[in-house]
Amino acid sequence: MFEDLLAKEIIMPVLIVFFSVLSYMILTRIIKRALRLKIQRIDIRKQKALVGLISAVLRVFIILVALMMILDVYGIDTKSLVTSLGVASLVIGLALQDLIKDFIVGFTVLLEDQFSVGDVVTVNGFTGTVIATGLKTTRLKAFSGEVKIISNRSIIEITNHSLEIAKATIDINVEKDSDISKVKELLEKICADLSAELSLIEKAECVGVESIGNIGIQFRIIITTKFSDRASLSRIFRERIKESLDKENIQIAYPQLVAPNG
């Protein structure tokens, strides 16, 4: 009698706890290894956040299962308890549904590496640099300086410009009497020099004369780079072009204003 009681009320709960802890350790290790293979492109901080979140959910699930098994050993009706917990969970879920949606979307963004801190993205029509990502909100900083805090559940459309290769075009207008060969040779040298200095994705190219019109002769340079670098690189090229044209006494063409007669 005593031995049966010992086996039922002491040994069984201990075994349940032991195997629950063992199961948690084994499953956690498997999850870490699987996620490491899946999300190796994501930085260490995000990997830890994902592993921590999954481990927490797994821990709660194993504790609940172990608790139900232990209560069942002591003869407590777990069916009615499960029903009560189900109703309570439903009420809590309805109250926290927005927060749960935030966590689900945030988890998906992290898992799929849709964007990272430093990327230039467009989310729901707002374009900016990602300055913080989390399981609840995402923060974007626009080029003009304002910071937009977006609830993850409201993220519908994402365009990650940092993953794209973009082309920037720079048009230079010189006076009609300029030496075309000399201007083209100068622009080609600028393209070669800056391509080496700036380590561009592809060498910048001077495609030559684009048009001849009222604003002189127009030359075009094409730069292949990341979307986020287009503006800064275009400024660097324009500065170098202006300096070089001035040194060679090549005049930049400007629109001519004609005063009305009389």
User: How many Å separate Cα 30 from the centre of its chain?
Assistant: 26
CB-based contact 176:186 (threshold 8 Å): no
Range from 19-28, 74-83, 88-97, 167-176 carrying the lowest mean pLDDT: 88-97
Closest CA to 129 of 119, 137, 138, 114: 119
CATH class of 2-95: mainly alpha
Tens-place pLDDT, residues 136-150: 788 888 878 888 888
CA-CA distance, 185 to 29, in Å (whole number)? 62
Does residue 103 contact residue 115 with C-beta atoms inside 8 Å? Answer: no
Q: Residue 172: is its pLDDT beyond 70?
A: yes
Distance CA(183)–CA(185), nearest Å, equals: 5
**pLDDT tens for residues 187-203?**
999 999 888 888 677 88
For residue 94, is pLDDT > 70?
A: no
Has residue 181 got a pLDDT over 80?
yes
pLDDT for the residue numbered 198: 82
Domain ranges for the chain: 2-95, 114-162, 164-247
Residues 6+ apart with CB under 8 A from 92: none
Partnered with residue 165 across adjacent β-strands are: 226
Domain 164-247 belongs in CATH node 3.30.70.100:
yes
234 pLDDT above the threshold of 70: yes
Which CATH fold topology does 114-162 show? SH3 type barrels. (2.30.30)
